[in-house]
Structure formats: structure tokens, C-alpha cells
Chains A and B, each alone.
Chain A
Amino acid sequence: NAGVTQTPKFQVLKTGQSMTLQCAQDMNHNSMYWYRQDPGMGLRLIYYSASEGTTDKGEVPNGYNVSRLNKREFSLRLESAAPSQTSVYFCASSDTALPPFPYTFGSGTRLTVV
């Protein structure tokens, strides 16, 4: 049981480049989330998808877009990367049909924008 899988694990981008972070879960969870984690700031929610076919903005959505491709997959896209988007990105999922619903996190993508 893989849980939540994120790819890539590491990425270096130049300012202005675009990229998509991939996330897939195999637990049949209905909700998925993207967080970023910065030193001193903790985890901050970027976007979430409460169920397949829906997506909503979190606390820090600017500069990002998401796609809930199907129940398993939730991708995060940076259209024009900026140095301020240098961070560690975590994807998480949960089964919100039955509260309480702990989150399962992926191992993260460490992104550096130069």
C-alpha cells in the first residue's frame, strides 16, 4: 500500500519556467490537498479538492493552479515560477466521508526557483 505518492522529489527551476507537481493516492480517499512548508511559517494550504470534480483555494493560492484529474490524482501547476515559490510542497489526502479523518501525507517535493 503506497499511500500518497508525489513526484518529483526534487526540482530546480529557473524564474519564469513552468512545471507540474504530481500527486496520487491509492486509499480511495475523496479529499486531497496541497500544502507548502517554509521555515518559520509551518504548513500552509494552497488548494484543496473536497471531492472529485471540485477544487477550491486555500490560504496561499496565488501563482498556482490545480487539477483533480480523477479520484486518485491531484496535480499542482506553477505557470511562471518565482523565487518566492521556493519551498517544500506536500500533498495529502483524507476520507472526509467519515469524520474524524486524519490526513495521509506524501513525502514532499523540494522545489528551488533560481
Chain B
Amino acid sequence: SQKIEQNSEALNIQEGKTATLTCNYTNYSPAYLQWYRQDPGRGPVFLLLIRENEKEKRKERLKVTFDTTLKQSLFHITASQPADSATYLCAPHYSGGGADGLTFGKGTHLIIQP
């Protein structure tokens, strides 16, 4: 079965630096890969998605890359701020699937220190 791996340990980054989070998957490559943000006591919120034929996607200070050879997606937050502190989840989405439920990684807890 497909496995999704995200850094289980918290990631501590100094304010203003770039935070880079990793999402690795096994077996076959997804058609899309989605990233979500989750704050304590709240539901996940969709941030970005990237298609398998895209190398990179940007939205304001966020950037996502997708390397199907490495079976990996990287999520970058540039000029990080304490308000970016949250847990970030990745979710691969397979062509023809998704309607039967996304599988999410366990998430990486990001802490931006002032």
C-alpha cells in the first residue's frame, strides 16, 4: 500500500529564514499532491496543490516542488513568520481516485521562533 512520510519531529526555524518541509511517498506517483495547514484545535486548510507534470508551484511566500524521480514533494515558506507556526500535511491524489478519500501524511509541526 502507498505510504506517505513526513518528518515526525518538529521543525524549528528562525523568523525570516526559509522553512522547508518534506513529503515522501512510496510506489507509484500521484497525479496531484496537495498541501494543507492545520492549526491546533482546527481542521486542516488547503494551501496548494501541484500536478505531476509541474516542477514547481508558487503562491505568495509558499512554494511547492514535485520530483517524481525522487518520489518527493518539498514545501517551502520563505521569509517565515511566527504566524506560520502550524502543522503541515501533505496528501497525494491519484488519477481516478480522491473521491474515495485522500490519504494524508501525519504532518510536520513547524515552529517559527522570533
- Cα distance, A66 to B19, chains bound together (Å): 40
CB closest chain-A residue, reference B4: A42
- Cα distance, A90 to B51, chains bound together (Å): 26
Interfacial chain B residues near A103, Cβ < 8 Å? 34, 36, 44, 46, 102
CB closest chain-A residue, reference B41: A108
Q: B101 in the interface, Cβ–Cβ < 8 Å?
A: yes
Q: Mark A12-25, 1 if CB is under 8 A from B, else 0.
A: 00000000000000
- Cα distance, A90 to B45, chains bound together (Å): 12
Chain B contact surface mostly: loop
Q: State how many residues of chain B have any CB contact under 8 Å with chain A.
A: 25
Partner of A45, one of B31, B93, B101, B107: B101
* B64-114 at interface with A (beta carbon < 8 Å): 89, 93, 95, 98-107
Q: Are A31 and B106 in contact (CB under 8 A)?
A: no
Interfacial chain A residues near B89, Cβ < 8 Å? 42-43
Q: Are B44 and A50 in contact (CB under 8 A)?
A: no
Interfacial chain B residues near A33, Cβ < 8 Å? 101
Q: Are B98 and A100 in contact (CB under 8 A)?
A: yes
- Cα distance, A45 to B41, chains bound together (Å): 18
Q: Are B43 and A100 in contact (CB under 8 A)?
A: no
5 tightest A-B CB contacts, nearest first: A105-B43, A42-B106, A102-B46, A96-B99, A45-B101
**With A43-B104, A48-B99, A96-B98 already in contact, 9 other A-B pairs whose C-beta atoms are closer than 8 Å:** A42-B89, A42-B105, A45-B101, A45-B102, A96-B99, A100-B31, A100-B32, A102-B49, A105-B45
Could you give 5 example pairs across A and B, Cβ below 8 Å? A4-B43, A48-B101, A99-B31, A102-B34, A108-B43
